[in-house]
Amino acid sequence: MAKASAASKYSEITLTKDRDGEEIKVQLEGKTLEFNYYESIMSPNITANMVIMDTGYSARYNKKYDKQERVGSIYNALPLTGNEKLKFRIESSLGELDFVNRPLFVNGSTSPDQNSQREAILLSLFSEGAKLNSESTAMKKYQGNIGDSVKLLIKQFLTGKSESIKVKEENIQNTANPYSFAGNSKSVFEICCNLASKSTTEKDSAGFFFFETKDGFQFKSIDSLISQPISARYFKSEVLLGSMNTDQNDFKILASHMRKNQNILNALNAGVFFSRNIYFNPQTFEETEIEYKFTDGKLVKSLGKSAEAPDVNAYTKTNYNILDIGTLEPTIKGGDNNDPKDYQAQAAMRYNILFSQLVDIQVPCNPNLRAGDTIDCYFEIITQSKKEQGYMDPVQSGKYLIVDLCHHYEPTRSITSLTLARDSYGLYTEKNKS
Amino acid sequence: MKSATLPDGFFLGQVPPNWTEYLQNGTWSDAHNNRVKVRIPGKHSKGPEILDKDLPWAIVSQSTSAGNRNGTSTGLSGGEWVIGFYLDEDEQLPVIMQVLGRNEVSGAKIKASENGTTQFRDVSRFSGQVAQGHQMGGAPPPKKPAVPDEEDFEKAKQGLSSPPAPGEELPGFVPTEEAAEAAAEAQAAREAEAIENIPEPTGEVINLSEGRSTDTRTDAQRQADSAAQRERIINKIGEEEYYRRVRANENRGFATNPDGSLAR
């Protein structure tokens, strides 16, 4: 067994509740049966859940409920009413998951198993950004580079409201296209996720993601994510490498499952390979039709060799757009506001191609991995030939993007579950066109 | 934000005063389908978080009577409450469909936005109504009535066998009410002119029927005509002068009809 799969250490895991102005702390080190931490490039905030087994010696009842102020279980004595803070630091052999200075908040709790001696408590948790997002209402007019608007929104509603939320400047990528828009009383997450699909880069394809990792909020283009250096290299083999204690086994794929490998009909219906795009100018009443083909070579970067497309002879989807001609400008002379011709069809293609292959894998716990990272995965070739010539499958192996991530901790083991995406095949990335 | 009562994508909003494209920019090159700005409760702030100038321009959809044959103004000048919908999924392109009827007896009204917002308060109907750009300027007023030239006159006569005499009725045409009135006025003018030229009495007997055709009118027609003629004469020379002349005639031995006209 790999060392990274062994039980991790809760060096701190404390539940804190503000009760009538007094801060009540409950240590959960010996009570935690299971802890799951989640990140996803399609989720603007981190979530987690945990299972606690409580034998009734955790917290004193509030005097207003129990005049004797007896000691009881967290669920009723604390009591758990939501919005409690959970600070934790979990140490594994490959790294640690540290949320001491950035606690998660209790969303809700259930007690599915309760008897006279003990009770199991299930807590669901969210990061502070999710709460601040619910309190946010963007009403202003935003203009200029979309990356700058995202920074402004984050500052206005997230980092400006809480000192524990930090955002690294380099994690918010500027776009090639400016966009003027009204907040329309929407929340900061809703706006940022919507902006991601309207963003494009100077040389690469359109399409961004807005998401949160343990490093904070990220607003990055798909192409910048897939072209970054790999964070780790994993292999799949039915044997252990070297001795039981070698570190190499920490990077062994424990289990894998190919969830999806293309869905041509869905892709055709989404207009991934061939779409017709109609644009109507409400000022000049001019109608423009543009056909967008995948084979025109607008997919600049890929995780493997160039992505392949089936032979499609006619457009399979029609996108209809009404151009924004100076809706938020003093005059109409500025032209189109973020012309959808520049991003819409391309972004639809980019998002769909990225998710053309999905693989679920489990690896020994690696807290250093984050959603949006890339890793190399080497899958074993199935052949009657001798594997001395190379044990890796040259098609399935290669670079993958982490879409979803879960660090799973139990008293006896720690693993990381990943959902990986890939837009193309092949062990090596083709030289990028940009 | 979804409205509790309006369908998804529809909105109820207020047009801020003086934010129509014509008032702001004043030239046709800047115009864009008669757009006005719109402040939408639930999407835009009541306070100054978003000012009138930062609100989106809304295209105003109009009735089919504003098609190419007519091309009318929207009639929105600011303060109106309107309903509309968004052209796009992201709700950035508003279109106004209809204006809600005004309640003229409502309370405190403002004449313009305060600190850049109406705060959704009632706006005086007559505030800020400035002539639109296309309504100002234009050609100078005419210095004299238009006179048709000879060419126009000749065209008007085309198809006629000969030019009609003044006042002559064209065959097959029923005179209009205006033409009948004009003809009556012309007749009255001619009679007044004849009265004006009546010489002062000299004492000689004048046969007023000389040169006239035999009168074939009935007594009732004659009395009615006499009464009308007396009225026209009185209108022309005045009642006092008329009766002075009647008395002078009677003194000379001329008879006077019951209506005051001279007996023949």
Q: What percent of chain A has pLDDT over 90?
A: 75
Tens of pLDDT along A67-126?
999 999 999 999 999 999 999 999 999 999 999 999 999 999 999 899 989 999 999 999
Q: Is the pLDDT of residue B230 over 90?
A: no
Tens of pLDDT along A367-406?
999 999 999 999 999 988 877 777 889 999 999 999 999 9
pLDDT at A248: 77
Q: Which residues of B touch A139 (CB under 8 A)?
A: 43-45, 49-50
Of the pLDDT bands very low, low, confident and very high (cuts 50, 70, 90), residue B234 is: confident
- Residue with the larger pLDDT of the pair B223 and B134: B223
CB atoms within 10 A of CB A421: 22
* Tokens standing for residue A285: 């009443």
B183 CB within 8 Å of a chain A CB: no
Mean pLDDT of A251-277: 93
Q: Which residues of A touch B33 (CB under 8 A)?
A: 282-283
pTM higher than the cut 0.80 = no
* Tokens standing for residue B46: 């009541």
Q: How many CA atoms lie within 13 A of A368 on its CB side?
A: 13
pLDDT at A106: 97
Residues 6+ apart with CB under 8 A from A120: A33, A51, A52, A53, A54, A111, A112, A113, A114
| Cα–Cα distance for residue pair A237/A174, rounded to 1 Å | 41
Mean pLDDT of A127-153: 95
pLDDT at B128: 58
Dump the DSSP string for A144-155: SBHHHHHHHHHI
A155: left (phi over 0), alpha (psi -120 to 50) or beta: alpha
pLDDT at B28: 61
| Cα–Cα distance for residue pair A101/A424, rounded to 1 Å | 40
Among the ranges A274-278, A330-334, B247-251, which has the highest mean pLDDT value? Answer: A274-278
Contact residues, B window 62-91, toward A, CB-based 8 Å cutoff: 87-88, 90-91
Mean pLDDT of B171-188: 70
Q: Which of A268, A230, A233, A267 is nearest to A250 (CA)?
A: A233
Q: How confident is the prediction for chain B on average, in pLDDT?
A: 77
Mean pLDDT of A345-358: 92
pLDDT at B172: 45
Mean pLDDT of A226-232: 95
CB atoms within 10 A of CB A316: 17
Helices (H) and strands (E) in chain A, counts: 7, 23
Of the pLDDT bands very low, low, confident and very high (cuts 50, 70, 90), residue B220 is: confident
Closest CB to A325 among B32, B54, B91: B32
Q: Is the pLDDT of residue B137 over 80?
A: no
pLDDT at A432: 46
Taking CB atoms and an 8 Å limit, are A140 and B42 in contact across chains?
no
Query: Cα-flanking dihedrals φ and ψ of residue B189, to 5°?
Result: -65, -40
Mean pLDDT of A32-55: 97
Q: Is the pLDDT of residue B7 over 70?
A: yes
Q: How confident is the prediction for chain A on average, in pLDDT?
A: 91
Alpha-helix residue ranges (DSSP H) falling in A262-406: 264-269, 344-354
Q: Is the pLDDT of residue B197 over 80?
A: no
Catalogue the E-assigned strands of A1-103: 9-19, 22-27, 32-40, 47-54, 59-60, 71-72, 85-92, 95-98
Alpha-helix residue ranges (DSSP H) falling in A136-240: 146-154, 188-196, 222-226
Helix (H) or strand (E) holding A174, with range, is none
CB atoms within 10 A of CB B248: 12
Tens of pLDDT along A9-36?
999 999 999 988 899 999 999 999 999 9
| Cα–Cα distance for residue pair B231/B242, rounded to 1 Å | 10
Tens of pLDDT along A187-216?
999 999 999 999 999 888 899 999 999 999
Closest CB to A326 among B42, B57, B87: B57
Q: Is the pLDDT of residue A182 over 90?
A: yes
Q: What percent of chain B has pLDDT over 70?
A: 69
Question: Is the CA virtual torsion A82, A87, A91, A94 positive or negative?
Answer: positive
Relative to beta strand B57-60, strand B94-99 is parallel
Helix H, strand E, coil C: the string for chain B is CCCCCCCCCEEEEECCCCCEHHHHHCCHHHCCCCCEECECECCECCCCCCCHHHCCEEEECCCHHHCCCCCCCCCCCCCCEEEEEECCCCCCCEEEEEECCCCCCCCCCECCCECCECCCCCECCCCCCCCCHHHCCCCCCCCCCCCCCHHHHHHHHCCCCCCCCCCCCCCCCCCCHHHHHHHHHHHHHHHHHHHHCCCCCCCCCCCCCCCCCCCCCCHHHHHHHHHHHHHHHHHHHCHHHHHHHHHHHHHCCCCECCCCCECC
Q: Is the pLDDT of residue B55 over 90?
A: yes
Q: Which residues of B touch A181 (CB under 8 A)?
A: 90, 92
